[in-house]
Structure 1
Amino acid sequence: MTPDKRLTRTWLVLLALTLGGGFLGESHYGGIVLAVAAALLVAVKSRLVIVHFLELNQAHPRIRRVVGAYFAAMPALMVLTALAGPQIVRWTSLGG
């Protein structure tokens, strides 16, 4: 597959995932189901962007590890926030 076709295919997959996320947001799901689904979408989309558009595979290994860890942590933090949102608010609020 040519590089142009690969990028076009990746872009179409990203577009489909974005539209799927929009439909998911309008669905009747809520709570942890929605958070996990959104986190999975973020993980897949960020990985596609990292590999195909940022060309991170050509970067220094240290940069690859940092960026990879960041994009692995974000979906995990999304789910954690959905699970423990009220507790996080109590920990971080200034008022009583």
Structure 2
Amino acid sequence: MNLTDNSLSARSSGKNLDRHWMILVGLTLLSAVIAEGAEPSLLITLVISSVIVIKARMIIVHFMELKGASPYIYYLITAYFYVFSILAILVWLFPEPLASLTTIR
């Protein structure tokens, strides 16, 4: 591989990161528009939670480059976003029981 191949590879990699960055910005704007304009519902919670997971996966793989890191780190970070998205859905589905679990008596 010569210097030209390296610069070509770096350029295509940079364009790929630019594309992912624009997708992340678009998903963030979509989430903001939905959060500001929609009435709260289970569907909206599912959509926002899904967008969070998609964005997290993109950041983990393309920007943090954890796919090549230790599997424990990769799966732990990935699980974090899935768990908190699931918790957001559970809070929507079961607000009273969860609130009673966190209330000091």
Q: Is the 2:56–2:81 contact (alpha carbons within 8 Å) kept by the matching residues of 1?
A: yes
Specify the SS of the correspondent of 2:26.
helix
Gaps of 5+ in 1: none
CA distance in 2, matches of 1:50, 1:11: 13
Specify the SS of the correspondent of 2:38.
coil
Please say which structure displays the higher CA radius of gyration.
Answer: 2
Gaps of 5+ in 2: 1-10
Superposition CA RMSD, Å: 1.3
Work out the percentage of aligned pairs sharing the same amino acid.
28
Please tell me whether residue 79 in structure 1 is matched to residue 57 in structure 2. Answer: no
Query: Which consecutive aligned stretches of 4+ in structure 1 deviate over 6 angstroms post-superposition?
Result: none
Aligned to 1:43: 53
CA distance in 2, matches of 1:28, 1:19: 14
TM-score (norm 2): 0.83
CA distance in 2, matches of 1:65, 1:14: 21
Matched residue count: 95
TM-score (norm 1): 0.90
Aligned to 2:74: 64
CA distance in 2, matches of 1:28, 1:39: 15
CA distance in 1, matches of 2:44, 2:50: 10
